[in-house]
Amino acid sequence: MEKSIDEIKRNYSSLVLAYLGDSFYETLAREYVISDGNCLVSELNVRIKKYITAVSQSKISAILLPHFNEAETWFFKNGRNAKNTHHSRSAEAVEYRRATGLECVFGYLYLSEKIDRARELFTIAVSELDKQES
């Protein structure tokens, strides 16, 4: 059932949205890395790290921020600024916070059933990330 932006803001903390968004975002990333066809799972695990680590998600958030609409920007900032006691060992605190903001956006998109928008943003991110690495 699609939830309104006000209902999501009222009923879900930024960290809960990030928790959900992490799963949804990783599903999009997994779909993307297997889109080239069958390969070894160990290879998939190597390829997916380009998209799902906190450091990668921090880079992706910088790519996507200019593409966010007003609501997505609101959720990103709230997720980024959420008080979280968890810290990543492989990322700086600022990178981890930006990754949390990105996950919060994807949690919002999932709950509001804006799956096409989530796929659009993910495609923009992957395309730009791949360009930067070329």
Give the residue extent of every domain in the chain.
5-133
| pLDDT tens for each residue of 98-122 | 999 999 999 999 999 999 999 999 9
| pLDDT tens for each residue of 28-49 | 999 999 987 888 888 888 888 8
Q: Which of 22, 36, 116, 130 is flagged as catalytic?
A: 22
Torsion of CA 101, 106, 107, 111, to 10 degrees: 150
Distance CA 21, CA 81 (A): 16
pLDDT, residue 74, reads: 95
Alpha helices (H) in the chain, listed in sequence order = 5-11, 14-34, 41-52, 54-64, 70-80, 93-111, 115-133
Confidence of residue 17 (pLDDT cuts 50, 70, 90): very high
pLDDT, residue 16, reads: 94
Q: What is the DSSP letter of 53?
A: S
pLDDT, residue 1, reads: 63
Determine the angle formed by the axes of helices 41-52 and 115-133, rounding to 10 degrees: 90
pTM score of the predicted model: 0.92
Percent of the chain with pLDDT over 90: 62
To the query of whether residue 130 is one of the catalytic residues in this protein, the response is no
- CATH 3.40.50.720 at 5-133, yes or no: no
Confidence of residue 5 (pLDDT cuts 50, 70, 90): confident
The answer on pLDDT for 85 being more than 70 is no
